[in-house]
Structures are given as structure tokens and as C-alpha cells.
Structure 1
Amino acid sequence: MPSSQTVRALLIVNPKSRQGAEAALEDGLERLRQAGFTVEKLVSQGPEESRQAVLDRCSELDLVIMGGGDGTISSMAQVLYDCKMALAVLPLGTANDLARSLAVPETLEEAFAVIAANHRRRIDLGIVNGHYFFNVANLGLGVTVSEELTDQVKKQWGVFSYLKAFFAALARIRQFKIKLTVDGEHKRLRSIHMAVGNGHYYGGGNVLRDCNEIDDGLLSLYSLRPQKVWELLTLAPLLREGQYDLDKRVFTAQGRDIHIETRPSGMAIHADGEPVTRTPAHFEVLPGALEVVAPRPVPDPSNPEGFTP
């Protein structure tokens, strides 16, 4: 988009996420106006209001700026895709994993600076049973963690809330059987947790898989084999860094089309921290589905011209 052209933007803010951020938001809005943006601000009371606001303005906007956490932003994925609308992220949530995957800075001042620069890139979207997501969809232990991650826990524990929810969930571990198909190849597994991810980060900064990126056209899957709690805790460093291939207790795969059946059937699936569907589940990826505002990539000193070997 030419720099001389006004950028018409809608800023949608989750009121639960904006406490204490009002001054920074107003300063950021003024910065955008000085950069040539016209910005309408909406304090939304829920996903339906947010989606309808974008649908009503599809032809009038160049950009939607979402201020909230991963669940708030993920709830907008399909309407943004349907409207072919660009997205910018203000990290106002607990985890902000999409912002991490896009390398958007944590502070609102720096995040607004990224938006003002208006550099665009394209990213993939994941879909599970028709529900769109940015980061990860999971079942088993991950769902139990999400259930333990209440608003009260987030308020009391802040950045440590995911750790608190994880330890609470350990007491509720149950194993299950999986019939898995990845791009036509079949596998049968026993598991206590399975995740299928599109983005690089999930669960408050955990790496989904160290080789996975949000624009590589692939979904990455990992499954934890049944094990004792103390054994699971020894996996924690590898889980944090996404280095699952280093341990035989973890099954990994990558593909574009994934089908999962479980026993018991009808297991809950959460995507980006929100309940969306149940097994059996069909996953697919939409490569380059969405345009987003993100920092310009930092040149690699060993490859300053950006040549691909």
C-alpha cells in the first residue's frame, strides 16, 4: 500500500484485556494518526459484536487491529479470511502467542510502532472441523490445562498462570487411543496429549516444534505417549523448546491434511485456548491465507542479499 494513501483501520479492544492500558492505547492511536491512519475504536463486548463490526465495514477498511489475547484474536480468523482483511495485533492477553510468532514486540508502544510502519506479510491459517485457528489445536492434557486456566487464575498468577494450570492438570491425566492419518499415511497411537499447530508458539511461549513456522504451508503434530508424572516433568525443557525429536516418548509428524479418530470418541478439542469441536477431527492448512502487519525481517549477516542456497 503506498505510504501516501490513508490507511483506514478499525481497532477492536477486548475490555477484559485493556485494564491499565488506556493511556498507552490513546498514545498509540495518536501515533497512528500522525502516520496517516484513520482509526475507529470499538470496545467490543464479545466475538459476535467484533465479527459483525468487521462484516459491516468490509468495503470501508484496509486493516483490523485486534487488541486482546489469542482467544480473542482467533475468534476473528474466519471473518478476516472471508473479508480478505489484513490484521494487526496488539498484545493485550496473557500469552500473546500469535504476537510472538509474528515477532510483534510485547510493549504497546513498540507494537504501535510496528503497525505505523505497516509492513505486511502473509501467514497460514489452520482449520479443524471448519473452525479456523492461528496457533494450535489440542486434545487431552492441553484441554485440561485450558480448563484449569480460569480468569481467576490468570488474574492471580499473571505470566505464571499457564504453569499453575499445567500442574493442576497433571492430576487429571487420562490416556486415550488415536487412529491418525497424515497426508494419507496411517498410524495408531496411545497418547495423553496431542497438539496440531500452525504457529510457532503456544501455551504462553512454548515452541510448537523448532522447525515449524506460521508461513511454511504445513501443520506440525506431536503426541505424548503415556508416562508417569515425574517422567513427563523431565520432558519439560524439550516441550518448552519444541525439540520433541530428541525423545522417543514423543511422536511427531508434519503434513497438510490430518485426520484424527479417538477412543473414547467425542473428545473435546480446544483451538487457541477456546473449545471449538470434538473428535473425530479433520485438520487442514490454508497457506498464505491472511495478510498481517509484522516487523520487517532482520537480514541474516551470513546472507545479506537474502539469496536462497
Structure 2
Amino acid sequence: MPKQPIERALLIVNPKARQCAEAELDAGIARLEQAGIKIEQYQSAGPEESRQAVLERKAALDLVIVGGGDGTISSMAGVLSECQLPLAVLPLGTANDLARSLGLTGELDNAFAAIEAGHRQFIDLGVVNGHYYFNVAHLGLGVKVTEELTDEVKKHWGVFSYLKALFAALARVKQFKVELKADGQWMKLRSIQLAVGNGRYYGGGNVVDEQCRINDGQLSLYSIRPQSLWELLALAPLLRDGKQRQADRVTLLRAKTIELITRPKEMEIHADGECVAKTPANFTLQRNALDVVIDADNWIGETNDTVEK
């Protein structure tokens, strides 16, 4: 693929995130402008305004830079794919799982250096009931943990916040039945947590599946069968590293399309930290949907036609 120089970029930053990194952002912008990239900064009041800003400027842009957490960045996936505009990520959230999947360290200096270097790859997008996502969509225990992990809990419990939220969630979570069709094959499961990943990372660095890449053309599903708290604690290190294949009470599969129904009732589905759908759910994959800036030295995805500055 021929080289495509970046001359004009739109920078969209979550205002709350910007307040915490003003000096680093200013230094990074100055670096890019010194490299010959003209930056237009856009202050957005929300996702819809950000999407509209891209639509209005798409003919004049070579790149869209989005700063914020995974939810902020995920909200831009559809419009960037539609406009066929490359994406660069500034990791300004708590988890920054998309940045990890792209080989970025989580430091702004690293992200700005990657933009300047100009290495890009095409990645896939997950789609659940028509909603695009980068990392993982899940239901069950993970949703309950998210609900329990409030700002107040974070403030009072600090590094123990996730553990506090997990114990509170375990008291609330109920097992559910799943009727599942993966690439045309039906199966039935009992579960307390089910996740369907497109990217490699979720939940602040947990690995969806050690074989998973964000551009490998497959979704990765795992489902945890009902078990005791102590069994879950023993399972946690395997889940962290994506080694669920070593566990007896975890179902793991890979597929291009997944349909599922939950019983006895419909359930919320969260993707990239936001509630986006309810069951019954249809999961598909949009292959090579988005051109993104990567850190070429740390990229672990499959190599397609690399685009360089």
C-alpha cells in the first residue's frame, strides 16, 4: 500500500480527561505540529457532537485523534469506519485496553511518538445487536462488578476497590442459562459470566484469550460455569492471562458469528465499559473495519498492509 502522509488531524479529547493531562497534551500537540501535522482541537460535549464534527470535516482530514477512555473511543468506531478515516488513540482512561491491543504502553509520550512515526494497521470491529465495540462485550458477573465499582467505592477503597466490588457482585449475581449458536453449531450452557471478545484486552489488562488478536478475523468467547468463591479466586490468574483453556469449569470457543439467548430473562450486555444492548444478542465481526495507528515495536496483531507516514 502506498504511503499516505498525515497533514491534517482532528483532535477530540474527553474534557474531564484533558484536565488531568493538560501539560502532556500540549507538549504532544506541539511535537506533532513541529513534525508538519496541522492539528485542529475540538471540545466536545458528548459522543453525538464528536461524531457530527467528524462527519462535517471528513473531506479535510487525514486522521482523527481521540483522547479518553475505552468508552469514549468506542463511541467513535462507527463514524470513523463509515468515513474511512484512520484513528489514533490517546489513552486517557482508567483501563486503556484498546491502547494495549495496539501495542501502546498507556503513556501519552508513547502515543504521540506512534502518531509521529505513522505506522498503521487495519483492525476488526466487534458488533453486538448493531453496536460496534473494540474490546469485549460481556454479561453476568462482569456487569455486576461494573455496577458496584462506583466513584465512592474507588475513593474509599483505593487499590482494593475491585476486590470490594467483586465480593459485592458475587452476592448479587445469579446463574443463568444460555442457548448459544457459534458458526451454526448450537450448544447449551449454565453460566455466571460470559464474554465475547474482539480485541485482546479488557478490564484493565485482562486477556480475553491468549490466542486472540484484534485483527485475527474471529470472536473469542468464554463462559464461566457456576462455582464457589474460592474456585473463582483460584481461576482469577488464568483469566488474567487468557489461559482459560487450562480450567475445567470454563467453556472457550472461537467463531465468526455468535447468537445467544439467556434464560429465565433478558440480560444487559456491556461493551467497552458501557451498557449497549440486551439479550437475545447477535454478535458478528466487521473485518478490517478501521485503520489505526500502532506502536510497531510492541504490536502483536497480525500484519496486514502496513501504512506508514
TM-score, normalised via structure 2 length: 0.92
Map 1:151-166; keep pairs closer than 5 Å.
151-154=151-154, 161-166=161-166
Residue 90 of structure 1 corresponds to which residue in structure 2?
90
Q: SS state of the match for residue 90, structure 1? A: strand
Q: How does 1:182-193 map to 2 (within 5 A)?
A: 182-193=182-193
Residue in structure 2 matched with residue 41 of structure 1 by the alignment = 41
Whole-angstrom CA distance in 1 between matches of 2:6 and 2:204: 35
CA distance in 1, matches of 2:213, 2:144: 25
Task: Quote the residue 2:245 is aligned against.
Answer: 245
Name the CA shift for 1:6/1:137 in 2 (closer, same or farther; >3 Å).
closer
Aligned to 2:305: none
Contact 1:269 1:278 in 2 (8 A): yes
Tell me the C-alpha RMSD between the 2 structures. Answer: 1.9
Secondary structure, counterpart of 2:142 in structure 1: helix
Cα distance in 2 for residues equivalent to 1:155 and 1:247 = 34
Which residue is 2:304 aligned to? none
What displacement does 1:155 show? Answer: 5.6
Moved more, 104-113 or 80-89: 104-113
Name 1:307's counterpart in structure 2: none
Give the distance between the partners of 1:114 and 1:175, measured in 2 at CA. 44
Identical-pair percentage: 62
Gaps of 5+ in 2: 301-309
Deviation at 1:2, TM superposition (A): 4.4
**Residues 45, 159 of structure 1: alpha-carbon distance in 2 compared, 3 angstrom cutoff:** farther
For 2:175 and 2:47, how far apart are their aligned partners in 1? 33
* Match runs of 1:103-142 below 5 Å: 103-142=103-142
Whether 1:291 aligns to 2:291 is: yes
Structure 2 residue aligned with 1:144: 144
* Alpha-carbon spacing, 1:40–1:157, altered in 2? closer, same or farther (3 Å): farther
How many residue pairs match? The answer is 299
Q: Match for residue 277 of structure 1?
A: 277
| 1:17-43 residue CA offsets vs partner (Å, 9 max, x unmatched) | 223300000000000001111111112
1:32-55 CA-partner distances (Å, limit 9, x unpaired) = 001111111112221111111111
Query: 1:12-31 maps to which residues of 2 (within 5 A)?
Result: 12-31=12-31
| Displacement after TM superposition at 1:152 (Å) | 4.0
Indicate the residue corresponding to 1:216 in structure 2: 216
AA paired with 1:57?
R
1:164 shift after superposition: 4.2
Q: Contact 1:94–1:158 at 8 Å: present in 2 too?
A: no
The secondary structure found in structure 2 opposite 1:112 is helix
Check 1:208–1:37 CA distance in 2 against 1; reply closer, same or farther (3 A cut): same
How far apart are residue 236 of structure 1 and its match? Answer: 0.6
CA contact (8 A) 1:95 1:159 kept: no
Q: 1: distance between equivalents of 2:214 and 2:46?
A: 26
SS at match of 1:235: helix
Q: Which has the higher contact order (CA 8 A, sep 6+)?
A: 2
Classify 1:65/1:299 alpha carbon distance in 2 versus 1 (closer, same or farther; 3 Å).
Answer: closer
Alignment gaps of 5+ in structure 1: 301-309
